[in-house]
Amino acid sequence: MTKRLTTTAGAPIADNQNSLTAGARGPVLMQDYQLMEKLAHQNRERIPERTVHAKGWGAHGTLRITGDITKYTCAKVFEPGSETPMLARFSTVAGEMGAADHERDVRGFALKFYTSEGNWDMVGNNTPVFFIRDPYKFPDFIHTQKRHPRSNLRSPTAMWDFWSLSPESIHQVMILMSDRGLPKTPMNMNGYGSHTYSFWNNDGERFWVKFHFKTAQGHAHYTNEEGNAIIGNTREGFQEALFGTIESGDFPKWRFYVQIMSEKEAETTPYNPFDLTKVWPHADYPLIEVGEFELNRNPDNYFAEIEQAAFSPSNIVPGIGFSPDKMLQARVFSYADAHRHRLGTHYEALPVNTPKCPVHHYHKDGAMNFMGQQSGVTDAYYEPNSFGGPIEDPSVAEPPLRIDGDAARYDHRDGNDDYSQPRALHDLMDAAQQNRLYCNTAAAMQGVPQDIIDRMLTHYDKVSKAYGDGVRAALSEG
């Protein structure tokens, strides 16, 4: 049966084609409220785009646990054989919502697992490291990726100025300029939690952990030239690929692994294991299989399910914890703050964000409280109370973490080896990969003042003379 069109207040609408006018040619009447309503709603159809990672592509899926890591973590999501519904959103970092998908950029890899003990968000990238190691520098770094205040253009000068003054960025810039900086589709890239997180088990033991998600579709990349040709035809290549693949029933998959480090080992590694610009070498900390996830359902409404998705590293569940990583600590604050601004006070109650387990809290009122009383008990709107409101559960307390040290602003560049791990990466690339790395780097430096290029080349020389000379040669070939 055809549904009757109504106002948002439920009253039937007689005419949705013609405005109410004084005479056939005449002006519209103020009392045509539905015209006002349609125009007013249109003016409110956009919300602020994400300040970073604005352009994204997402889908729903399922996590399946095939391995057994219960000796490291009591998180229910890792019970062998279990399945957990999930949401994934991939993104580029720098471009705005209308940016072309096939631009060279780091890709976001954000996962929300709707576990039986609350939502666990794993908000990672397709790279195992990051540009900076101190969150104090994040707004400065992002300014270099966004538009110049005067020209309103992206500024390679700003990017290379910042990077050349921040040697900790070399590792990530190298991956960005390598083949992996321009994946063919979201299905052809790995995801990494990047930070060190923690696990704790039923005996109260803590372990440090890194998360890895490896594409089952295989790595595949475009060259700059191929990427540019695609952008000439479509700016939406990632959306077309992900949406189309899932629509056709060919569900993409990622294998899920962890690396584990004991608290004792963390005291003796030659690098700071909580430094986001470093990986843990596979040979020392081998990958342990956990399971796999597949993406198997496209959103029915992109805005409601992907644009309104709110991922936050602060969303952890019992058995998973944070680490001393300064960057992670800052992200724990930053994302929920962004969501309150971008989506509103009660963003966690939006259907895509709401946990698929019981939720009972004492937050109250605020714009758009459409959930009513969240403690679940009418008279229990504060805590403690005598009316049977929800109470805390000490059994899920994290084991104590020993922290010491004097409060000070420690130089995060002091004594850090920013060159060895990039050197290991450079050395594992074959000659053709290295050549593309040099050419992509030189291409990205076009128009940058020579003194800034020279400063960057001194870093590349320290990674490997071949690297510095390779970029020099590519620059001179233009």
Catalytic residues: 53, 125
Q: Is 362 in the site for ligand HEM (CB under 6 A)?
A: no
Binding mask of the shown chain, residues 55 to 94, with x at each position contacting ligand HEM by CB under 6 A: -x--------------------------------x-x---
Q: Nearer Cβ to ligand NDP, position 215 or 353? A: 215
338 vs 54: CA distance, rounded Å:
12
Task: Tell me the two tokens of residue 254.
Answer: 């990622």
Phi and psi at residue 90, to the nearest 5°: -100, 155
**Residue 338 near which of ligand HEM, ligand NDP, none (CB within 5-8 Å, type-dependent):** ligand HEM
Task: Tell me the two tokens of residue 381.
Answer: 């709107």
Instruction: Work out which of 35, 330, 425, 443 binds ligand NDP, going by CB under 6 A.
Output: 425
- Asked whether the beta carbons of 119 and 350 are under 8 A apart, the reply is no
**How many CB atoms within 10 Å of residue 230?**
17
Least distance (Å) from ligand NDP to the CB of residue 178?
A: 4
Task: Tell me the two tokens of residue 360.
Answer: 């009972």
Q: Is 185 in the site for ligand HEM (CB under 6 A)?
A: no
Q: Is 361 in the site for ligand NDP (CB under 6 A)?
A: no
Least distance (Å) from ligand NDP to the CB of residue 460?
A: 15
Phi and psi at residue 56, to the nearest 5°: -145, 165
Q: Is 281 in the site for ligand NDP (CB under 6 A)?
A: yes
290 vs 259: CA distance, rounded Å:
10
Q: What distances in angstroms separate CA 64 from CA 81, 248, 258, 270, 293, one per listed residue?
A: 7, 22, 15, 35, 6
Cα 361 from chain centroid?
27
Instruction: Work out which of 330, 336, 349, 443 binds ligand HEM, going by CB under 6 A.
Output: 330
Compute the chain's Rg from CA coordinates: 25
Least distance (Å) from ligand NDP to the CB of residue 179?
A: 5
> Interior CA angle at 139 toward 134 and 140, to 5°?
85
Q: Are strands 191-192 and 288-297 parallel, antiparallel or unpaired?
A: unpaired
- Asked whether the beta carbons of 277 and 130 are under 8 A apart, the reply is yes
Residue 460 in marked binding region: no
Instruction: Work out which of 282, 360, 364, 413 binds ligand NDP, going by CB under 6 A.
Output: 282
Binding mask of the shown chain, residues 116 to 145, with x at each position contacting ligand HEM by CB under 6 A: -------xxx----x----x--x-------
Q: Nearer Cβ to ligand HEM, position 86 or 123? A: 123
* Residues near ligand NDP, by CB under 6 A: 128, 175, 178-180, 190, 212, 279-283, 421, 424-425, 428-429
* Residues near ligand HEM, by CB under 6 A: 50-53, 56, 89, 91, 108-110, 123-125, 130, 135, 138, 194, 276, 309-311, 327, 330-331, 334-335, 338-339, 342
- Report the binding-site residues: 335
